[in-house]
């Protein structure tokens, strides 16, 4: 019964005839070309750059790849790969290419990351320019409603606007970041006190919808100038009571001037 290969569309006999056959004689020739491969590396890079022989591998019946440890400064763990080829009936192999490839223990550079993913908070320095992406989801055109009623109404009343404003998605992302950050309710400082920012005299609420959850600290001895969560707190709250007493222990002063000083008696001879 005749069958058809689903991928190539060839019949069973035709598909079988196109399958490469491995020649034992050619495999012997390719395997025995290790010294030819070593000589090719020496000609390409110098004899001192070739290390121990690591073995041979095959990708197809007519070629093999001999590998040697590379002895090159800065390329620890790298390997020389020399591809040799031949044809059925050939009595010798020929060198196709010589390349340097990383081995299992090779020191490699980190995987490349696009610049817009490499930039982290705090990387911006004086004089740097950092433009937002053209399709930045945090921004929307300024002539569209931002989704914040207080902002939109005020902008319409005074006739002012910006080319781009923060989108609802961008504000939500910022709010979550502030809530989870160093000035949110789960910060170590906040966990160490029962007083929170929402009823602190140094708390300056933000305008717009974010003002329902966040403000800026105006206490120079605390989180001065930082956006803080309503539920953030610290020991410098405006309602923190003063310590009891005058600040000095209630004990009589110690005067070492009333002590009698005597010379040490001489030791008997």
Written as one string, the DSSP assignment of 243-265 is: PSSSSS--SPPP-GGGS---PPP
Q: Label residue 245 by pLDDT band (50, 70, 90).
A: low
Fold of the 12-102 domain:
Nuclear Transport Factor 2; Chain: A, (3.10.450)
pLDDT (tens digit per residue) in 6-20: 433 444 444 444 445
Domain boundaries of the chain, sorted by first residue: 12-102, 132-237
* Sequence-distant (≥ 6) Cβ neighbours of residue 119 within 8 angstroms: 130
pLDDT at 122: 83
The span from the CA of 183 to the CA of 229, in Å, is: 6
* Stretch among 26-35, 47-56, 131-140, 211-220 having the lowest mean pLDDT: 131-140
pLDDT at 3 > cutoff 70: no
Q: Give the residue among 184, 219, 213 at the shortest CA–CA distance from 201.
A: 219
DSSP string across the chain: ---B-TTT--BHHHHHHHSPPPPHHHHHHHHTTHHHHHHHHHHHH-GGGEEEEEEEEEEETTEEEEEEEE--TT-TTEEEEEEEE--TT-SS-EEEEEEEEE-TT---PPPP--HHHH--TT---TT---PPPTT-TTEEETTS--S-HHHHHHHHHHT---SEEE-HHHHHHHHHHHHHSTTSTTSHHHHT-S--GGG-TTEEEPSSGGGGTEEEE--TTTTTTSEEETT---TT-TTPPPPSSSSS--SPPP-GGGS---PPPPPP-
pLDDT at 125: 84
Higher pLDDT, 243 or 180: 180
Kindly state the average pLDDT of the residues 183-194. Answer: 93
Which segment, 17-31, 52-66, 148-162, is predicted with the most confidence on average? 52-66
Q: Give the residue among 235, 173, 225 at the shortest CA–CA distance from 204.
A: 225
Kindly state the average pLDDT of the residues 101-121. Answer: 87
Structure tokens at 251: 């004990």
pLDDT at 4 > cutoff 60: no
> Among residues of the chain, what percentage have pLDDT more than 90?
49
pLDDT at 246: 60
pLDDT at 255 > cutoff 90: no
pLDDT (tens digit per residue) in 67-95: 999 999 989 899 999 999 998 888 899 99
pLDDT at 188 > cutoff 90: yes
Q: Give the residue among 131, 135, 137, 138 at the shortest CA–CA distance from 115.
A: 131
pTM, full prediction:
0.51
Q: What is the residue-averaged pLDDT of the chain?
A: 83
Residue 29: CB atoms within 10 A of its CB come to: 19
pLDDT at 13: 47
pLDDT at 247 > cutoff 70: no
pLDDT (tens digit per residue) in 154-175: 766 654 667 788 889 999 999 9
The span from the CA of 239 to the CA of 2, in Å, is: 92
Structure tokens at 254: 């110690």
pLDDT at 46: 92
């Amino acid at each position: 019964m005749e069958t058809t290969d689903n991928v190539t569309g060839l019949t069973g006999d035709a598909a079988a005839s196109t399958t490469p056959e491995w020649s034992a004689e050619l495999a012997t020739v390719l395997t025995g070309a290790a010294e030819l491969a070593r000589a090719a590396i020496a000609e390409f890079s110098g004899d001192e750059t070739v290390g121990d022989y690591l073995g041979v591998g095959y990708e197809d019946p007519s070629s093999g790849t001999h590998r040697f440890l590379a002895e090159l400064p800065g390329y620890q763990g790298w390997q020389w790969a020399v591809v040799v080829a031949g044809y059925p009936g050939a009595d010798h192999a020929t060198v196709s290419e010589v390349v340097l490839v990383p081995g299992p223990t090779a020191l490699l550079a980190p995987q490349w990351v696009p610049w817009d993913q490499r930039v982290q908070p705090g990387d911006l320095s004086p004089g740097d320019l950092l433009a937002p992406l053209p399709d930045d989801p945090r921004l929307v055109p300024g002539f569209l409603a931002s989704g914040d009623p207080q902002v939109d109404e005020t902008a319409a009343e005074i006739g002012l606007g910006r080319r781009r404003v923060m989108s609802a998605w961008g504000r939500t992302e910022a709010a979550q970041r502030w809530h989870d950050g160093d000035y949110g309710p789960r910060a170590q400082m906040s966990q160490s006190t029962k007083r929170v920012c929402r009823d602190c005299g140094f708390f300056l609420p933000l305008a717009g919808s974010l003002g329902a959850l966040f403000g800026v600290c105006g206490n120079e001895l605390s989180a001065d100038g930082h956006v803080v969560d309503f539920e953030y707190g610290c020991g410098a709250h405006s309602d923190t009571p003063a310590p009891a007493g005058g600040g000095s222990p209630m004990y009589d002063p110690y005067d070492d001037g009333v002590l009698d000083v005597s010379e040490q008696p001489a030791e008997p001879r």
